[in-house]
Amino acid sequence: MELKHTVTSTLLIFSILSTDESKVKAQTSLENPFLAEYNSSFEVPPFDQIKNEHFMPAFEVGMKEQAAEISAIYRQRSTPTFQNTIEAMENSGKILNKVSTVFFNLNSANTNDEIKEIAKSIAPKLSQHSDDIYLNKLLFQRVKQVYDQRSQANLNGEQERLLEKTYKAFLRSGANLSEQDQQRMRKINSELSLSTLAFGQNLLSETNSFELIVTDDVELSGLPESLKTAAKQSAENSGKENAWRFTLHNASVMPFLQYAHNRSLREKMYKGYINRANHDNEFDNKELAAKIAVLRAEKAGLLGYESHAHYVLEESMAKNPDRVYELLDQLWAAALPVAKSEADEMQKLMDKEGNGEKLEAWDWFYYANKVKMEKYNFMAEDVKPYFQLENVREGIFTLVDKLYGLSFTEVPDVPTYHRDAKAFEVKEADGRLVGVMYMDFFSRESKRGGAWMTSYRKQSIKEGKRIAPIVSIVCNFPAPVGNDPVLLTPDEVTTFFHEFGHALHGLLSDVQYRTLSGTSVPRDFVELPSQIMEHWAFEPEMLALYAKHYETGEVIPTELVTKLDEASKFNQGFQTVEYLAASLLDMAYHTLPAGSKVNVPEFEKQAMDKIGLINQIAPRYRSTYFQHIFAGGYSAGYYSYIWSEVLDSDAFATYKESGDIFDRDIATKFRKTVLEKGGTAEPMELYKNFRGREPEVKYLLKNRGLQ
């Protein structure tokens, strides 16, 4: 009933808009929060007022409003200038931007069946709307005229950058194509919008549908008490008494694979994990993955590129696939022998146990833990009591205060989209507002897997006033059970630091235009601010500030810090190989030429056989659940994490070499040359402004124990 009502409201809005657009805005703004100014604290989205039925009408009004604004730009008789064309485009679409950011963030972080249906309905409409702008020949003529006259326009550096990005956006969208090819481009874009959306929805449904139910506590042997307690609670929440329920959410599946003594259950969990969306059912993603890869190849061909990777990488630091392969191949050659050595080490331990079993993929996490315990007398569970979530959060706040002078204060009166999400006011040392930051930590079925940072409003400057950004970090940490505190694993601590680094990139942005703001940089540069934050997490000086036992308040002992450091390079062969395998799989899909055909299982096997991936290791993401590349914006870009790791390892060495990891002068320089600049200059130029030279790979190899 509600969806039908939404459609009716939309038609009514269109009917009234045709006669009196200002009147309908006045009327509907009383009922639809997207059509009015945000009046809540800090002008954040009024989540307490937003309802599902508001989305479609706001989308329709927003598209119509922007279409009218764009029409006014290309129909004007004035000579095209930066201000009346490029800047006017930049400032268009206010309502559409407001509703889009909220809707698609909710679709990732707190979705439901109605939101999923709205997403399916709006995706092709938004694709058409975008094509109507970037395939508009009259608009492109004006943009091109401004671009061709840029040397006489007396533009500053940021204006030049925005002009260049706008002009390229038209070219890369097909503005110069023939009418026939543009029609095909529209069709491809529409199909891709629906296919990528369906891929993500299928993966969420598949992940939520799997459960491993254990009814005999003997089969729980080896599992930490915290995991058993959470599994017991999960079973009760799903209506199962006297049982334990394990799922494919990371907080459940990963510790199960690490600690469960029962090998057959480990195998079942592992196979459930690596076969997500690969069961020939309604949630199967094989055909979608193939379709997306083929359509992208065709689109790149239409635009004159050799492959989708060539198209994407043109706008990256890497510039072309050859440079990506050069780095990946160099690291693969270093990492694969280490991974094979790790496998041999685990096989020897299995042989010593005398059960005659051969190491399989579902054994790796379990025996890696055993070897780590044998070599270093260390397990992740040993340090979890020192990583209470709130203590880690306060530790990060302390770090950011030391580096940048920022303070974070929770503001409970700010509306949020879910009870788990908390809002924080971020201020400079002198009290000036920096922005607002949401933190949403806990796993739930309405949230997709993984962790990410996002924006609800990007920083910009309007009429000389800085518009404060609104950012959010979203994680999938284990939800609290009863009154027990949430204790993080070292990997989860790293995730927290990582996403906070992204948030700082968004918060500290200080640019004129939203399009160039914060994280609006190439994929292989955007991970620098996030990954450099990871380096502080386990430094002894940093641990002393926040790693305190949740019961006693005792600071983590020196011997545990030493073990944590010594064990940190263990299993790096595996971690590097599984990541590189996924990166190379991504490149294999996206270096396909136009006209290619893909059988996903065969294609994946051939790609992994070609690089010599051993049977005990699967790519970190297999094709059917590789959301990063098929639904997450990282197509031909998953390599970015390791490319950026070259940068962040090199950059953090600056702090280490100074003798003070909290050096405020270095941090200030990093803030001024990288974090504040967004996409206003070429990434390598920004990096060299910080470091004084290009990065060196030796620091990455050293950090990973591959040198």
Question: Three-state DSSP class for 661?
Answer: coil
Contact indicator for 244, 213 with CB cutoff of 8 Å = yes
Q: 31 catalytic, yes or no? A: no
Catalytic residue among 206, 298, 342, 499: 499
R_g over Cα of the chain: 26
Distance between CA 540 and CA 54 in Å, rounded? 50
d(CA 447, CA 477): 12
Strands 433-442 vs 470-477: parallel, antiparallel or unpaired: parallel
CB 335, CB 576: distance < 8 Å: yes
Question: Which burial class, exposed, middle or buried, applies to 241 when counting CB atoms under 10 A from its CB (0-12, 13-18, 19+)?
Answer: exposed
Q: Which residues contact 705 (CB under 8 A, 6 or more apart)?
A: 338, 569, 572
Burial of 82 (0-12, 13-18, 19+ CB in 10 A): buried
User: How is 215-242 classified by DSSP, letter by letter?
Assistant: --GGGGTT--HHHHHHHHHHHHHTT-SS
Backbone torsion region of residue 551, taken as left when φ is above 0, otherwise alpha when ψ lies between -120 and 50, otherwise beta: alpha
**Token pair for 274:** 């690596």
Residue tagged 């089969």 (tokens)? 219
Q: Using CA atoms, how far apart are residues 7 and 655, in angstroms rounded to an integer?
A: 57
Q: How many CA atoms lie within 13 A of 218 on its CB side?
A: 1
Q: What residue has token string 């096989």?
A: 347
Which CA distances in Å does 75 have to 69, 72, 164, 372, 500? Answer: 10, 5, 22, 68, 44
* Residue 407 three-state SS: strand
Residue 125: how many other CB atoms lie within 10 Å: 15
Q: How many other β-carbons are positioned within 10 Å of the β-carbon of residue 475?
A: 23
CA neighbor of 535 nearest in space, from 307, 668, 702, 685:
702
Please count the CA atoms within 13 angstroms of the CA of 631 that sit on its side-chain side.
Answer: 27
CA distances from 123 to 141, 198, 441 (A): 28, 10, 28
Sequence-ordered list of residues with C-beta below 8 angstroms from that of 455, at least 6 positions apart, any chain: 101, 469, 470, 471, 472, 506, 518, 519
Query: 539, 527, 460: which is closest to 493 by C-alpha?
Result: 539
Please list the residues that pair with 455 across neighbouring strands.
471
Q: What is the DSSP letter of 316?
A: S
- Rounded-to-integer distance, Cα 363 and Cα 615, Å: 12
Catalytic positions, please? 499
